[in-house]
Amino acid sequence: MSDCTAGYKGEFIEFMLAGGVLLFGDFTTKSGRRTPYFVNTGRYRTGAQLARLGRYYAAAAKERFGDDFDVLFGPAYKGIPLVATTSVVLAQGGRDVAWCFDRKEIKDHGEGGGLVGHTLADGDRVLILEDVTTAGTSIRETVPKLRAAADVSLTGLLVSVDRRERGLGDRTALDELADEFDMATHAIVTIDEIIAHLHGREIDGRVAIDDAQRARMESYLAEYGAR
């Protein structure tokens, strides 16, 4: 295992691959870019997978953000299981944090409102958990909802994979979001770490990233990657 993917990072990469979450082929991202690789956390299907996913997010959250958050927020829909499982893992480790998520459509009956779970309060330190951010679109939709609910402090954003692609300008979407919303942004792993870990590595009888696939990925990053 290479140094850049030592510990839980290398395990997480192989976990995504085994679960069919990390895919190679021909895909189109939410931003409209055609890409030779894709990360789809909607393909986690079992309780055991969800439990492991929570452990990886919890490990990264503690490593990157320490205790500087009170609430986990998950943008609908894929962020919902992320905050649920991560909060469970943190509670099992002795840290009970609140969690909430948004609705795609505001409910006008029952308790109403656009957020579910913890009721955000002034001063809450919110850590957003998302699967992948390519252009930053979903986060730009999410932050106004949080700020409309209360005078919260945005601790940061944690995603599964940093695709290292340009956002609106020449820098990565995560770097742009960090400046735009004055919050830290991190990923459990980057696409560079995925390439380094899987290139030429045989897993379950096949090489995950061969020379041809690596060339396609590097060509894509040469076109869309951040400077």
Phi then psi dihedrals of residue 195, to 5 deg = -60, -45
Please state the separation of Cα 213 from the chain's center in Å. 23
Interval 1-30 mean pLDDT: 83
The one catalytic residue among 30, 104, 107, 118: 107
The tokens describing 67, both together, are 């205790």
Rg (CA), the chain: 18
Q: How far is CA 180 from CA 7, 103, 183, 187, 227, in A?
A: 32, 24, 8, 17, 18
Predicted confidence (pLDDT) at residue 52 exceeds the cutoff of 60: yes
Class of domain 3-224: alpha beta
Is 180 in a helix, a strand, or coil? helix
Strands 125-129 and 113-117: unpaired
78 is known as an active-site residue:
no
User: pLDDT tens digit string along 151-160?
Assistant: 999 999 999 9
Please state the separation of Cα 147 from the chain's center in Å. 21
The one catalytic residue among 30, 78, 109, 199: 109
Interval 208-212 mean pLDDT: 96
107 is known as an active-site residue:
yes
User: pLDDT tens digit string along 20-42?
Assistant: 999 999 998 877 889 999 998 88
**pTM, rounded to two decimals:** 0.91
Interval 194-216 mean pLDDT: 95
User: pLDDT tens digit string along 57-110?
Assistant: 999 999 999 999 999 999 999 999 999 999 999 999 999 999 999 987 765 544
Say what the pLDDT of residue 6 is.
54
For residue 209, count other CB atoms closer than 10 A to its CB: 22
Predicted confidence (pLDDT) at residue 15 exceeds the cutoff of 80: yes
Residues in the chain: 227
Q: How far is CA 181 from CA 10, 18, 55, 153, 185, in A?
A: 30, 35, 27, 10, 10
- Confirm if 217 and 37 have CB atoms less than 8 A apart: yes
Please state the separation of Cα 102 from the chain's center in Å. 16
The tokens describing 186, both together, are 């991190």
The tokens describing 107, both together, are 């409910």
